[in-house]
Amino acid sequence: MVMANFPGVRNTLWWHAGYASNFLFALQGSWTPWVTSHFWSLAVEEQSYVVWLFLILLVPRSRLVAVVIAITVSSPFFRLIGLLAGVNETALWVATPASLDALGLGSLAALCADQPDA
């Protein structure tokens, strides 16, 4: 992997390979190593796929829209509470719960598109 030759990447390679870049950046409070900074969004996306899978499997279809709405609405509250608690700004951008409003809206769009015609 060519990126492993960039400064600082070799030490963090397992974070990125395990789709946990967002956790690394949140814990560090910075985008170091900068060359991998774009991986945070891929990590959040992969983590949301795992959560979505369990939602589909465990939540009854009749309650799924309500659960997704609750998750979507909780994301801004997560960021607000984090801000008030003094959580670093990077974590407020890249933590998975901080991104669930955008992912939840996409999920709601998919659920609405999947509704049978009345």
Span 80-115, pLDDT tens digits? 999 999 999 999 999 999 999 999 999 899 888 877
- Has residue 7 been placed in a domain? no
- Has residue 10 been placed in a domain? no
Query: What per-residue confidence (pLDDT) applies to 109?
Result: 92
- Has residue 3 been placed in a domain? no
Residues 6+ apart with CB under 8 A from 3: 9, 35, 36
- Has residue 61 been placed in a domain? yes
Span 26-49, pLDDT tens digits? 999 999 888 899 999 999 999 999
Output DSSP code: residue 7. Answer: T
Task: Give me the domain span that covers residue 82.
Answer: 16-113
Query: How many whole angstroms separate alpha carbon 35 and alpha carbon 62?
Result: 44
3-state helix, strand, coil in the chain (%, to 5): 80, 0, 20
Structurally, how many domains does the chain consist of?
1
